Structure 1
Amino acid sequence: MGRLWRREWWRLGALVGAGALVGWPFGFSGTGIAVGLALYLFYQLRQLHALQEWLTHHPHDEPPSASGLWGELFDRLYRYQKGQRLTQRRLRDTLSRIQESSEAMRDSVVMLDRHGDMEWWNSAAERMLGLKPAHDRGQHITNLMRDPSFVDYFHARDYREPLTLCSPIDENLILQFQITLYGDDERLVMARDITRLHRLEQMRRDFVANVSHELRTPLTVLAGYLETYGDMAEMLPERLGRGIGQMQSQTKRMQNLVNDLLLLSRLENDQGGHDDIRIDPTSLLEAVRRDAEALSEGHHQLEVAVEEPRGLLGSEKELHSTVSNLAFNAVRYAGEGSRIVLRWRPWGDGACLEVEDDGEGIDPLHIPRLTERFYRVDKGRSTATGGTGLGLAIVKHVLLRHDAQLEIDSRLGEGATFRCIFPAARLTDAAPASRRA
C-alpha cells in the first residue's frame, strides 16, 4: 500500500510539473499548475463516482476496472463484501437451523430483547401462551403474562428456580417457566407443560393426606389400649410386659410420623400464610430451648443469643415447629457434650434464625438432599433416635410460606449451622404477639 501511495504522489507531481512546464514559455506557469491539479482532481472524482455507482447500484457485481490506489481499494472492498456475504449466509443458515429446531420442540420458546419485548417465538408458544404474530410481536412480555407472580419473577432477575403457573389462555394447563439471560441483557423464556406431573403430584399429596388421616383413628385406639395394658404391666407376664413397652414406643413413633405427614400435606396445599402475627424471637427461642433441654436430658449445652432488636412477622405455630425441628435435630445428631446455640441476628437487610452446633457435622455431599422427605444421612442412627425423616421438609415448606430460605453450612467434624433467612418485609418492631390488623 505504501508503494501505491508513493506512485500516487508521483502522479500528482508529474501532472503539476507538466502543467508548469507547458505554461512557462507563455508566462502562465501558475495556470499550468492549476490545470494539472484540475486534471488530477477530475480523475479522483471520476473514480469516486465509479465507486459510488458500484456500491449503490451493482454491489454484487465485479468492481470497476482501475489501476493504482483506486484499483487496490476496489479489490479490497470487493473481497470484504464477499467475506461479509459469506458470514451473513452462514449466520442466516445457523439462525434458520435454530428456528427449525425450536419449532420441533414441544416446549415454548420466546426470545426477548434487552427491554423485555418479544422478538420471536415458536409455534408451541402460540399454542400454550396464545401468542399471535400479527399483534404480539414487539409487545412487552408482561403485557401477555400479567400474573403478579410472573411479573415479580421477571423483574427479580433471579432465575435459579423455575416458576409454575397456569397458562394465560387455559387454566387447566400447568406450565413451568424458566428464564435465561444471554447476550446484551436479552432473555430466553421457556415454558414446559407439566400438567400431567402436576396432577400426579397432587394425587400423591391427596393419597398421603387421606391415608395419614385414616391412620389417626386406629392409632389412637391402639395407643389407648396399650396405655391401659401398660398400667397393668405388673399383672402381666414379664415377657408380655416388655412387648407392650415396645409396642407403645413404636405406636408413638407412628403417631409422630402421621402428624408430620399431615402437617407437611397442609403446608404443601396451603401457601397462604394469612395467619401472620408479630412474634418476639427471644420468647420463641427460649421456648424451643426449654423443649430441647427436656429432650437432651442434660447431655448438651443449649444457649440463646439475640443480636437483632426487630421482631418477626409470621405464623407462631409454624415458626415454632421450624426452630424446634432444627433444635431437636441438633440434640439428636450433634453428639453428647455438644454446644448448641439458638441465635436471632441481622442478615443483610433482613435477619435470620440460626441453630448452630459444634458437633459431628455433616458431609457436604448430603446437604443438597437434606430437605427431601425421608432422606437420612445415617439410616441406622436416625431410626434409633426416633426421627420421622420429615423435619427438614417441613422446615423448607414453612420458610417458603414466609418468603424465607434455608441455608446449611457444615463440614465433618466442624459442626453444622442451619440458617433461616427472612427478608426485610418479614421484620417488624418488637412487640408482644398480637393479631395483625
Structure 2
Amino acid sequence: MLERLSWKRLLSELGLACVPALIVGLLWGGLPWLLLVAVLAVLFWHFYNLMRLSHWLWIDRTMTPPSGRGSWEPQFYGLYQMQLRNRRRRRELGNLIKRFRSGAESLPDAVVLTTEEGTIFWCNGLAQQYLGLRWPEDNGQNILNLLRYPEFSRYIRQRDFNKPLTLVLNNQHHMEFRVMPYSEGQWLMVARDVTQMHQLEGARRNFFANVSHELRTPLTVLQGYLEMMNDSVMNERSRGKALQTMQEQTRRMNSLVKQLLTLSRIEAAPAIDLKETVNVPMMLHLLQREAETLSNGRHEIHFHTDPHLNVFGNDEQLRSAISNLVYNAINHTPDGTRIDISWLRDRQGAHFTVCDNGPGISAEHLPRLTERFYRVDKARSRTTGGSGLGLAIVKHALSHHNSRLDITSEPHKKTCFTFTLAPRLIVTAGMQENAVH
C-alpha cells in the first residue's frame, strides 16, 4: 500500500545511502569523500527522476506517467491517480453538458446563452429555426447584430427583465423573450413562439364579434315589431306580416344557436372510437327526401349511392357533415341548378361528393370557406338564413374521422365539395354479416 511522501522516508533513503559509506570509511579511511559521494548519488537519483517528470509533463504525449522507485514511486502514482480523477471529472462534466444541451434541445422554446455583453456562445435548434441563428457559425457574434429590432435592442440595453418582451419577427412569428441570469457574467435567453396563442385570441374576439352581430339583427327586428305592436293599433295585414317576420327571425336565431351548440360539441369531443358502424346509404335515402322537400322542385337533384358502402365512424358527426353539404348546395344555388350527390367507393376509400353547376365560387374565397361565419355573399346568406357555420361544422366533424374537406370551383361551370374516408374505415361484407348475426 503506497503512502504519501514524508520526511521520515526521505531521511531513511539518505541514511541507506550514507551508512555503507560510513562503514567503509571507518574501516578503510576516506570517510568525508565517501559521504560526499553517497550524498551526490542521492542528489543524482532525485535529479534524474525530476528530469523524467519534466520530460513527461512537457514532451511525452502518453497519458500514463513514468514508473518510479523509492520515494518517487508514490509521487508518480499520486500524479496518475490525480490524472484519473481529472479524467473522471471531465467525463462527468462532459456528460453534464451533454445532458444540459440535450435537455435544451428537447425544450419547446428557443434557448440562447450569451455573455452580459450579448456575445453568443451556444444556442439550440429552435433558436436557429425561429430566430434565424446559425450554429456554430454565429459563435462569438453579438445577438444585437443578428436580431435587428429596435424594441429588442432597447429591451437588452435597459436590462429590465422583470417582464417578457413580445415581438413580431420578420417571419411573422410572435415570439415572447425572457432573459435571466445563467451564471456569473452570463445570460440565459428563452424565446417562446406564441403565434398560435395570438391567433386563438384573435379568433376568440372575432367569434364573439360575429355572434353578437348575427344575434343583433334578429333581435333588432323583434324589438322593432314589438314596439310597433305596443305603441299603435295594427291592422290584421300588418300584424300578420309582423308575426311572420318575427317567426322567421326566431327560427333564424334558433338555427344559429343549434349550429353553435353542434360546433361546440364536435370541437370539445375527445378523440372518437371509430368502431361504430354508420349506415351511410340509409342516411342518404332519408336525406334525399328532406332535400327534395327543401328544394320544392327548384333544383334537379340526383343521388348516386353504393347501397352496400357502410363505414366506421360517428353517426351524429357524419350526419352533420353530409347534411350540411347537401343543404348548402340547395340553399346557395339558384333555381334550375343541377345537384349531384354521390357516395361511392374508389381506390382512396369511401368517396362523398356534392357537385352543382351553379355560379361557382371565386378562387379568393375558397381557402376561407370553412372559417366560422365566413360567407361569400352576406346579403344572400341572410336572405336564405345562412349563418356561415355549416362548413366549419363539416371541417371539424371530418377531422375526427382523419379526413378533410376539398373544395374546387370553376365559376359558372362546376363546384364540388368532396371528402374521402380511408379504406380502413370501410365496413367489409364479412363484418356486416357478423354484425347481423
Q: Structure 2-normalised TM-score?
A: 0.48
Q: Structure 1-normalised TM-score?
A: 0.48
Larger radius of gyration: 2
